Amino acid sequence: MQPFAYPQGPDHPVGGVRARVDYGAALMAGFQQDHEIRRRNRRQQRNQHNAAAPIPPPAPHPEPNFDRFNIQFHQHAIDFQREADREQQQQHQMEMERAQYQHRQNELLAQQQAQEARLHFEAEQARLRLEAEWARQHQEAEQARLQFEAERAQLHFEAEQHHQSQVAQQERLTQQRREYEQQQQHLEEIRHQNQQQEDDGNDPPPSPSLPPSLSPPFSPPPSPPPPPPPSPPPPPPSPPPPPPSPPPPPPSPPPPPIQFPPGGRPYREPVQRNSLGPMDVECPHCHALHFDSEKLSKSTRRNRVFGMCCLEGQVQLPPLQEWPDQLKRLYDDRQFRDKISSIQ
């Protein structure tokens, strides 16, 4: 007889474990089945005996055979013990697997925490290195800026000195050229006067005293003595013109100017000036005055907003307190203000 294997509701476990078997119900079902077989057999025997012969007296009821029951009960007890052992083993295995899973979870959590701590430490070290690098770069940039400022000032000073020397040299050359032109003009006038006097037949007047740089290299020769009166005097020969004075050597060309970068050139005020216009645009929140170019990009033609005064109304300062009456009276007194303004 096969044991009853239908699962029971209250004892049905979770996790794939086989359901518990009710051996008492299985035993009672086996007893009822055997009892029905015996009743059917007796009914058939009684029907056959009644049809063949008269009904004999009822035989004594045989003693029940409990050997099969004992064997089945013993077998059911053994199966129940095996099933209990199996379930206990499965429960123990599940507990071991649960403990191993919890241990793995704890190990993963510890590894995750260690990795997070390591990443945090590396990030902190990287941040410190970046700050140190930024400080070093800032210091180098500051030193480079100071060095550039010093070189720029030096170049500016040298450029100013060179410019002043060029201006002085140019003025000196201009003065020399002007003096040379005046000397040449004075010599031309003297030659022209001497030529006119020689053409008229008159003795040239003594040449005016000239500076050594303007004096000619030699004086003109004297006119010959007049012939005797009977014969007419021949015309005096024209004296040769005085040789021109040698021109002064040409001035040496000025040295080429030094090309400086735009940052090293001296500052010159630009010709065109930039104007921001009148400062008459009022903030709609704090009523501060601004230039029109100071409005924010989201301003419109009718609604102009500003962020330099009150951050579009986010900053609200308390109103100014009223003046004391005595100061207000003195400020309104014109005579008092005139006396204050007259004090030097």
Q: How far is CA 241 from the centre of its chain?
A: 85
Cα angle at 338 between 336 and 342, to 5 degrees? 120
The overall pTM is greater than 0.75: no
pLDDT at 124: 92
Q: Is 277 left (phi over 0), alpha (psi -120 to 50) or beta?
A: left
Q: Which residues of the chain register pLDDT less than 70?
A: 1-21, 49-59, 61-62, 64-66, 201-258, 270, 344
8-43: pLDDT as tens digits? 444 444 445 455 667 778 888 888 888 899 988 888
- Pairing label, strands 289-290, 281-282: antiparallel
pLDDT at 1: 46
178-206: pLDDT as tens digits? 888 888 888 888 888 887 777 776 554 55
Alpha-carbon torsion 31, 37, 41, 46, what sign?
A: positive
| Element spanning 133, H or E | helix 67-200
